[in-house]
Amino acid sequence: MEKLYYSSTLMWGASPQQILFRAARAGVAGLEIWAQQADTFGWQPEMLGELARRAGLKLLVHAKSWDLNFAALNEGVRRTSVEELKRSLEFASRCGAGEMTLHPPRFTLPGLKARAMESGARGLEELLDTAESLGIEISLEVMEKLPKELVTTPEEYRAFAGDLLPRLSCTLDLAHCQNEGEFWDYLSRLPRISKLHISNKQGKKLHTPLAQGDFNFLWLMPRLQKLDLPLVIEGFDGDGRFEILKSDLELCQIQEEKDA
């Protein structure tokens, strides 16, 4: 499974050693570490990097996103969000990850959407300056279609990035697409896609296990695996048994064996 990664949030509450050992045993390419999870549990980035190197695993980092908005109308929230995201970039650099996934910001009020676009672009440029000084690539994620999201389509992605577009790559999340047709359309129209986030969805409930939801992964996974892109399994599991991760990896392994 040389292109398969999974999110550390599928083992919420586990130690870094447990998470990395499980990934090495599963034979995946690497992990996407959520910076908020690392911060919550006090993980040391240098230790993560060393454990990953020993296990032969690659690391990606997902920036903090919960409670943050770097286009917020409130200047204090906006400034704090930028600083927290810079800390995520520093975390990525210290653990040896070359790429950080970034959620775009949101607007506060419909009548102030243009203002949010401008302040968000200023924040993005500041983050890109920091990222480039650290040797980290920022991959901006296309979000689900919620009322206050600024970036949910290829057109919105390009409009928000503007002149910064050549300095970014893009993360396309399958569960953020309304259907498979939209996913394949976005895949063909988004620039510089660096990876895919994969999980299922049940109506408006996002990031369900691969085998549970609207998408038929028994049909879809072989096609995803033929793309020349890393696939990152997303989800959240904090019950300590981590059965979601087990079932997701089993589905991917079955598809690899069937496709071989």
Per-domain residue ranges for the chain? 4-239
Amino acid at residue number 118 = E
Q: Where are the beta strands (DSSP E) in 122-163?
A: 137-141
Cβ distance 127 to 88 under 8 Å? no
* Beta-bridge partner residues of 233: 6, 198
State residue 259's pLDDT score.
55
Please check whether residue 9 is in contact with residue 235, taking contact to mean a CB–CB distance below 8 angstroms.
Answer: yes
The sign of the torsion formed by the CA atoms of 19, 214, 64, 37 equals negative
The predicted structure's pLDDT at residue 254: 59
CA–CA gap between residue 157 and residue 172 (Å, rounded): 11
| Half-sphere exposure (Cβ direction) of 247: Cα atoms closer than 13 Å | 15
pLDDT of the residue at 258:
54
With 80 as the cut, is the pLDDT of residue 260 above it?
no
Chain centre distance of CA 125: 19
Task: Please say if the pLDDT value at position 88 is more than 90.
Answer: yes
17-59 pLDDT tens trace: 999 999 999 999 999 999 999 999 999 999 999 999 999 999 9
Counting every residue, how long is the chain?
260
Q: Report how far residue 35's alpha carbon sits from residue 15's, in angstroms, rounded to the nearest whole number.
A: 14
Locate 37 and state its tokens. 């999870």
The predicted model scores a pTM of 0.96
Q: How many Cβ atoms from other residues are within 10 Å of residue 13's Cβ?
A: 14
Q: Taking the CB of residue 115, how many other CB atoms lie within 10 A of it?
A: 14
Q: 214 with 200: CB under 8 angstroms?
A: yes
CB-based contacts of 94, cutoff 8 Å, min separation 6: 45, 46, 49
d(CA 118, CA 70): 11
Q: According to the model, what pLDDT value does residue 253 have?
A: 80
Question: Domain 4-239: what homologous superfamily?
Answer: Divalent-metal-dependent TIM barrel enzymes (3.20.20.150)
Task: Answer whether 204's CB lies under 8 Å from 194's CB.
Answer: no
Q: Which pLDDT band holds residue 8 (cuts at 50, 70, 90)?
A: very high
pLDDT at residue 256, rounded to an integer: 55
> pLDDT tens, 48-80?
999 999 999 999 999 999 999 999 999 999 999
Enumerate the β-bridge partners of residue 47: none
Q: Give me the mean pLDDT over the 229-250 stretch.
A: 95
| Arithmetic mean of pLDDT, 251-255 | 76
Q: What are the tens digits of pLDDT across the range 149-189?
A: 999 999 999 999 999 999 999 999 999 999 999 999 999 99
